[in-house]
Amino acid sequence: MKVKVPKQERTSYVLTLLIMIVCCVIVLLLPVCGSVPLTGWLQSPGHPRGYDPDSSLTWKECAPTGHKITLTLIHLDLEESFECADDSLKVFVDNELHFTLCGRKSMKELQSSINPFLHSSSGGCLSVSFLADYSNPERHTGFRGFYAIQDVDECEDPDNECTQLCNNYIGGYRCFCRPGYILDPDKHTCQVSCNEDRTGSTEGVLMSPGRPEPYPENSLCSYTLAVEEGLQFELTFTGVFDVEMKENGQCIDSLTIKPLSGDVKTFCGRDLPPLVLTRSQHVEIIFRTDHKGANRGFSLSYKVKEMNCVGPVTPTSSLIPQHSNSEYRTGSRVKVRCDKGHVLQSKDSAEVEYESTCQKNGKWSPVIPCEPVDCGNPELPELVELSEKDPPTTYLKQIRFKCKSQYYQLDKTGNFTCNADGNWVSESGQQLTEDLPKCEPVCGMNSEVSSGGRVFGGKRAELGQIPWQILHKLNPRGGASLISDYWALTAAHVVDGYENENMNWLGGIIDARDKNAVIMETEKIIIHPNYMRVGKGNDPNNFDNDIALIKMSARVTLGPNIRPVCLPNKKDELVAEGTISGFGRMEEKRISRYLLHGLVEIYSLDECDQGGLPVTHNMFCAGGDHIDSCQGDSGGPLFSPVLGHGSPDKPYRLAGIVSWGPAGCGNKSFKGYYTKVQNYLDWIKETMEKN
């Protein structure tokens, strides 16, 4: 049976003939590529008569390095279906799916929308997968295409990295340079050949390549100058200096002067560099440029002059004799003297000068550095630390002391400076050993809580509200006030007769039964020498000088609930009111388990009913309506300002010590009497210093 070929297919055959002619030309031009076919046809099974159901085809070809493979579809007639689910032609470029095709497409459609994208990368691959399902309602002729392996023109790629010229050949490309340039070993970069060795030349001129025209790109020029020992080069820039620089001053291109020893200098921009005295018999001048620019470069003249030495010999020193221009001829001898606060870096650190000679090479010999005097880390008193860990300790450096705990403060300024003699000195000029700062407890501060009430039948204190109150719980029951981290003040009659015993005091509590109380054991009890002691022929009712100091056997660890109260100032007027506190009797002879406090008014002795007992100027009285101290409160504090009104500028101060009173506590007619602490400040200070 004779098959009639449709008109569309006849057109395809004509195009096929043309492609075959082109193919023959390509084959003649391409070298033999091993076993890889250079051209070929690709078509569906049974084409052009039509493909059978369940037919399939897979194909893949890869191009050699420097080549690409292309596919040109000239015919496409597959069963049409949604998303090509029935019959399909899938085309992969470099292992990525580019097209899934089905239905009919004309040659014009294939050429415009499909074929331009069917080419691999250099050395890449193309692959095809054709798959038909189990049935076709009508005959479809399938697909046909032509593939070819072609040379890649790498010179058309802007990323081929040839800085000047590029020559493409079948399977690769080659970079080459314009006349006057050489190809760098990287085989891509063209550089100017501009290295010069002028060893032995004592004068001359050096210029950037192409001067006075703009210098070429990608230049790396090295000019070597070298003469005999004892001479040095003097470089003078002339004419226009124009080396490319960014607006922020950073060099794009650069001119670097690199002596054998000494400072390396780099220049760029348009400012003419100053005269350069190299101080070296050997100099390398390096000129670098990038791949673009139109700058005019540099010109410099060089000559030699006798080498000399320049002072100082070493930093932080001076020379004797001192020349005005600080230059010394070969053979010159000088004395090197370290500046103030510096000593020689040698075994004998007390030496501050030595002799040095200018050598022929422009160097001094010997060179012994002058180093700053080191005051070292000071020995720190107890509770004191440096505000900075491992601070510098050399001449003119400063250190600052601080207290380790927030409950202490320095008794004087903590700033010290290392002087030229290697001593730490204060701002007043005193040495650290003579003016050593100490950490003293911060006094008169508490954890503020709103207050009110009274002792006798009064209101309970909050924890930390009266942190200086301490208690002797056993017989004799009484109170005392911490005035430092070692010392407390109480009434003499509370500790009278117990001077040689170890008394335990409780602190940091508001509950006498608190098992977490801070226990303080006495080391010394010192009663005022003028106190009228009971049982020694003296009047037992005389409470003049009723004051005693207690020294604890160990430093009290201060905290928010146990802190000292401040002593009063000598010249302060007696306050009008204050707060009393204690663990004494409340009412009906019942001892309080809790720390109580109350506000009292302070009166002059003329306003107090003495009740027939002797009263002296060492006392004052205080009280109010049913507000009083009572038995068991003895030795405790009367302090001001009133509880709740203290501040860092107005700390709480101990105005009085609970001493004595009438038989009935809280009597409206009789007030309680308190030892006036202000009268004993000198005795307190002297006793604490001696003990």
Complete DSSP assignment for 582-605 = ES-EEETTEEPSB-EEEEEEEE-G
Q: Per the domain annotation, does 447 fall within a domain? A: no
Name the nearest CA neighbour of 449 among 435, 474, 437, 466.
466
- The answer to the question of residue 401 being in a domain is yes
Determine which helix (DSSP H) or strand (DSSP E) holds 684, and give its type and residue range.
Answer: helix 681-690
CATH label of the domain that carries residue 317: 2.10.70.10
Based on the domain organization, do 632 and 658 belong to the same domain?
Answer: yes
- The per-residue pLDDT for 194 is 83
Determine whether 397 is exposed, middle or buried from the number of CB atoms within 10 Å of its CB (0-12, 13-18, 19+). middle
In one-letter notation, the amino acid at residue 611 is: G
Q: How far apart are CA 540 and CA 546, in angstroms?
A: 12
Would you say the C-alpha torsion 319, 324, 326, 331 has a positive or negative sign?
Answer: negative
DSSP string, 120-170: --TT-EEEEEEE--S--SS---EEEEEEEEEE--GGG-TTS--SSEEEEET
Boundary of a domain, candidates 273, 306, 339: 306
* Residue 375 in tokens: 């005051």
d(C-alpha 13, C-alpha 307), whole Å: 91
371 neighbors 343 (Cβ within 8 angstroms)? yes
CA distance 416 to 435: 10
143 and 164 fall within a common domain: no
What is the domain-level CATH number for residue 218? 2.60.120.290
Do 91 and 66 touch, CB atoms closer than 8 A?
no
The DSSP element (H or E) to which 182 belongs, if any, is strand 181-183
**Beta partners for 100?**
90
Instruction: Give residue 332's pLDDT.
Output: 93
Q: Looking at the structure, tell me whether residues 287 and 138 fall in a common domain.
A: no
Kindly report whether the global pTM for this prediction surpasses the value 0.85.
Answer: no
The confidence score (pLDDT) of residue 186 equals: 85
CATH code of residue 579:
2.40.10.10
Q: What is the CA radius of gyration of the chain?
A: 52
pLDDT in tens, 576-597: 999 999 988 766 567 889 999 9
Q: Is residue 515 part of a domain?
A: yes
For the chain, how many structural domains are there in total?
A: 6
Residues 519 and 601 reside in one and the same domain: yes
- 540: DSSP letter: T
> According to the model, what pLDDT value does residue 457 have?
45
Q: Is residue 601 part of a domain?
A: yes
54 lies in the same domain as 121: yes
User: Does some domain include residue 454?
Assistant: no
Indicate whether 578 and 540 sit together in one domain.
yes
| CA-based torsion, 565, 566, 570, 574: positive or negative | negative
What pLDDT shows up at residue 11? Answer: 44
Spell out the residues 6+ positions from residue 355 whose beta carbon is closer than 8 angstroms to its own.
Answer: 333, 334, 335, 336
Q: Cα(255)–Cα(258) distance, rounded to whole angstroms?
A: 10
The per-residue pLDDT for 452 is 38
Amino acid letter, 214? P
Q: How confident is the model over 198-252, as pLDDT tens digits?
A: 999 999 999 999 888 899 888 889 999 999 988 999 999 999 999 999 999 999 9
Q: Return phi, psi of residue 110, to 5°.
A: -65, -40
Q: Do 319 and 296 belong to one domain?
A: no
Q: Smallest Cα–Cα separation from 667: which of 625, 616, 606?
A: 625
- Residue 2 within any structural domain of the chain: no
566 forms beta bridges with 653
Catalytic machinery residues: 493, 546, 634
**CB atoms inside a 10 Å sphere around CB 587:** 12
Query: Do residues 627 and 598 make contact, with C-beta atoms less than 8 angstroms apart?
Result: yes
Residues of the chain with pLDDT under 70: 1-37, 180, 347-350, 448-458, 533-541, 586-589, 609-612, 625-629, 663-670
Query: Is the residue at 448 inside a domain?
Result: no
Q: Are residues 135 and 166 in the same domain?
A: no
Question: End of a domain among 372, 397, 422?
Answer: 372
- What is the pLDDT, as a whole number, of residue 16? 46
Boundaries of domain holding 216 = 194-306
Say whether both 121 and 177 belong to one domain: no
pLDDT at residue number 611: 62
Q: State whether 497 and 391 are in the same domain.
A: no
What confidence score (pLDDT) does residue 7 get? 41
Are 464 and 540 within one domain? yes
- Based on the domain organization, do 660 and 682 belong to the same domain? yes
DSSP assignment of 273-304 equals: PPPEE--SSEEEEEEE--S-----B-EEEEEE
Domain boundary among 392, 408, 441: 441
Report whether 266 contacts 249 (CB < 8 A): no
| Rounded Cα–Cα distance for residues 687 and 570 (Å) | 17
CA distance 522 to 17: 123
Distance (Å, rounded) from C-alpha 661 to C-alpha 499? 24
Measured distance CA(503)–CA(477) in Å, rounded: 11
pLDDT at 392: 96
C-alpha pair distances (Å), 131 with each of 89, 301, 563? 7, 81, 94
> CATH number, domain at 180?
2.10.25.10
Task: Tell me whether residue 364 is in a domain.
Answer: yes
